[in-house]
Chains A and B, each alone.
Chain A
Amino acid sequence: MNGPIKQKIRLIQTVARWEFNRWFKWKDQFITLALSATISLILFGGQSVLGIFSERTNRVAVIGGSFIGFNESILGDVIFIHADSSAVEFQRIALEEKQIDGLLIFQNRDTAELFVRQEPSWLAGVTDQFNEIRVREILRRADLPAGFMDQLMKPVEIKVNSTRTKDARSSTGDKIAAGIFIGLMLLGVFIGLAYQFIAVTGEKQSRITEVIVSAVSPQTWIDGKIIGISLLSMVLLITYLIGTVLFVFISILFGSGWAFPVSFYHPGQVILLAVIAITGFLLWNTIFTGLAATINDPNTSSRGAIMFLPVIPTVLAAIGMKTPDSPLMIFMSLFPLTSAPAMSLRLALTSVSVWEIILSLIMTILTMLLFRKYAGLIFSLSILMYGKEPTWREMIFWLKNQKKTNY
Chain B
Amino acid sequence: MDNCILKVQNVSKRYAGITAVDGLSFQIRRGEIFALLGPNGAGKTTTARMLTNIIRPDSGEITYFLDDSKPEEFPDPRNIGYLPEDRGLYQDISVIRILEYMGQIRGLRENQSRIAAKEWLETFGLSGRKNEKLGVLSKGNQQKAQFASAVLHRPKFTILDEPFSGLDPLNQEFIINIIKTLTRDGMTVLLSAHQMQLVEKIADRALLINHGRAIISGSVDEIKKSCRTREKLTVRFDDSADDLDFERHEAVDRIEKGNGRAVTLYLKQNASLSSLLSYLAANYRIVSVQSEPITLHDAFLEKITQQDSVR
Contacts and interface: CB of A to CB of B under 8 A. Distances in A.
A26 to B, nearest CB: 16
Contact of A211 (B53, B58, B87, B107): B87
A206 B58 contact: no
Contact of A214 (B56, B77, B90): B77
Given A14-B104, A206-B90, A384-B54, A211 B84 contact: yes
Interface in B194-217: none
Contacts of B52: 214
A210 interface: yes
A117 interface: no
A407 B84 contact: no
Q: What bracket does the count of chain B residues touching chain A fall in?
A: 20 to 34
A210 B105 contact: no
Given A206-B91, A210-B87, A215 B106 contact: yes
A14 B87 contact: no
A211 B102 contact: yes
B56 A407 contact: yes
A214 B161 CA distance: 13
A135 B101 CA distance: 81
- Bin the interface of chain A by size: 20 to 34
B93 interface: yes
Given A18-B101, A210-B87, A216 B56 contact: no
Contact of B105 (A14, A22, A407): A14
Nearest to B55: A407
A208 B88 contact: yes
Interface string A1-28: 0000001000100110010001000000
B89 interface: yes
A7 B53 CA distance: 18
B234 interface: no
A386 interface: yes
A7 B149 CA distance: 20
Which 9 pairs, one residue from A and one from B, show the smallest C-beta to C-beta distance?
Answer: A207-B88, A206-B88, A214-B82, A214-B52, A210-B84, A215-B105, A14-B104, A215-B77, A208-B88
Given A211-B88, A214-B77, A214-B82, 14 more contacts: A14-B104, A14-B105, A18-B101, A22-B90, A206-B88, A206-B90, A208-B89, A210-B54, A211-B89, A211-B102, A214-B52, A215-B106, A216-B77, A216-B105
Interface of B: 49, 52-58, 77, 80, 82, 84, 86-91, 93, 101-102, 104-107, 149-150
Interface of A: 7, 11, 14-15, 18, 22, 206-208, 210-216, 384, 386, 406-407
